[in-house]
Amino acid sequence: MSLHKFTHTQLVEFLDHQINISGDKTVAVFLIALRLTDRKDRITGKVSLQSVLDHVYQRIESLLRTADHYAHIGGEQILLVLPQLANKDHSILAAIRIIAILKESFTVGSHSVTLRPYIGIANYPDAGRDSDILLMHADYALQIAATEEDGFYIHQPKDTVESNIYDGLDIELYNAISSNELCVNFQPKVSVETGQCISAEALLRWTAPWGQEINPGLVISTAENSGLINPLSLWILNTALRHTAAFSRAGVGVGVSVNLPPKMLEDEELPQIIQQSLDIWGVPASTLTLEITEDSMISNIESSLGMLTRLSELGLRLSIDDFGTGYSSLAYLKRLPVQELKIDILFIQNIHNSIRDKKLVHTIIDLAHNFDLITVAEGVEDQQTFELLRELGCDVVQGFLFSKALPESEFINWYRKVH
């Protein structure tokens, strides 16, 4: 039996004890989420969660000191406590090492398994002096970490929203949707061939009533957990189309991409709703691209095909988002009425460091072109990555190399400046 592995209750008691004896030493609380980049084998039973966890335990334990302890707290989450650290910077080093070792592929039976881990971190005493507060802050940090490029996020003193997350954030979000208090920013999507901005992705932004900017990942998860995801998504759609109409009036002729959550594919009235929105704002259907995750399309393939076909018949474009992390089956791909594959940012970030990721990106691009689809790479932050993607034949890119997501007026100014 491992000397490092505790039950959940034992680990919380251990954390309480460490808080009492640590003085000015740092105690780091890590909440680790293990996301499989391909869950097909899990769903079919070919790879069990326990077999994945056994490999994860071994890798984590290879990095731990005698004083460190962890617990599996359910699903694909692990809680880890690192006591008596000299300072909070050591928690950053530990997170980097843990993410690096957990990202390394391993084999279960005859199946290769790759994880995409992310970590929420709360450090005593900066993030609190009570175990309940530290655990709550680590949970909040985990939700932000899922959207961070480094794969981890450390709770900051400025993160004052936590008490509201667990008490009424859904009510505040409902009020924000009803009162039109949210906003949408736009990140340019640039043609590799011409260097011109041809479209923009609509990205949600929300500053809560108490002045805190809420992380978009947290907004989406709150909406999903509280039944607000459909009204939120429709608000984003209408707002994006309203701004697109404003772009056109300003002489900025670009398309717009909007993320469509899986649940909305179940709404039989969705095509009618989208057509009404296009009519209201006078935006041609060909200007709109709906980005839909691969798994949401495949989870109920026959129903999804019917809905996707109806949407395609409106004249809009459909894009498979985060391509390469789901089923990635040619049998499904040839049946889907889509025009675009969006390569998952995970592969773009590692394209210079991993021969496998470079080959995978090249394969996805070739596959897309064989199906007469265009490819979009997100997370492009430097010229070297852009040039490599150009060499591999990618069609469209987006990322900080060109611009962060901008409000309407700033996007118009950016467009005019670069064109």
Dist CA 216 CA 185 (whole Å)? 11
Strand pairing category for 340-343 and 152-154: unpaired
Q: Over the chain, what is the mean pLDDT? A: 87
3-class DSSP state of 326: coil
Q: How far is CA 213 from CA 208, 217, 312, 373, in A?
A: 6, 12, 35, 37
Convert the pLDDT of each residue in 287-343 to its tens digit: 999 999 876 666 666 777 889 999 999 999 999 887 766 555 566 777 889 999 998
Nearest Cα residue to 376 out of 346, 336, 338, 341: 341
Convert the pLDDT of each residue in 202-254 to its tens digit: 999 998 777 777 778 778 878 877 788 889 999 999 999 999 999 999 999 99
Which residues touch 143 (CB under 8 Å, ≥6 apart)?
A: 120, 215, 217, 218, 221
In this prediction, residues 43-47 reach a mean pLDDT of 58
Q: How far is CA 401 from CA 38, 235, 343, 385, in A?
A: 29, 29, 17, 9
> What share of the chain in percent tops pLDDT 70?
91
What are the contacts of 398-406 at 24+ separation with CB within 8 A? 398/187, 398/188, 398/189, 398/190, 398/201, 399/187, 402/188, 402/190, 402/197, 403/187, 403/188, 404/187, 405/185, 405/186, 405/187, 405/201, 405/203, 405/205, 406/185, 406/186, 406/187
Burial level of 356, CB count in 10 A (0-12/13-18/19+)?
exposed
What local confidence, expressed as pLDDT, does residue 55 receive?
A: 92
Structural contact between residues 294 and 320, judged by C-beta atoms closer than 8 angstroms: yes
The structure's pTM equals 0.66
Convert the pLDDT of each residue in 68-120 to its tens digit: 999 998 778 999 999 999 888 899 999 999 999 999 988 887 778 888 899 99
Dist CA 240 CA 257 (whole Å)? 8
List the single range of 39-43, 342-346, 361-365 with lowest mean pLDDT: 39-43
Domains recognised in the chain with CATH numbers: 8-159 (3.30.70.270), 169-418 (3.20.20.450)
Locate the DSSP E strands across 1-110.
Answer: 26-33, 69-74, 77-85, 106-108
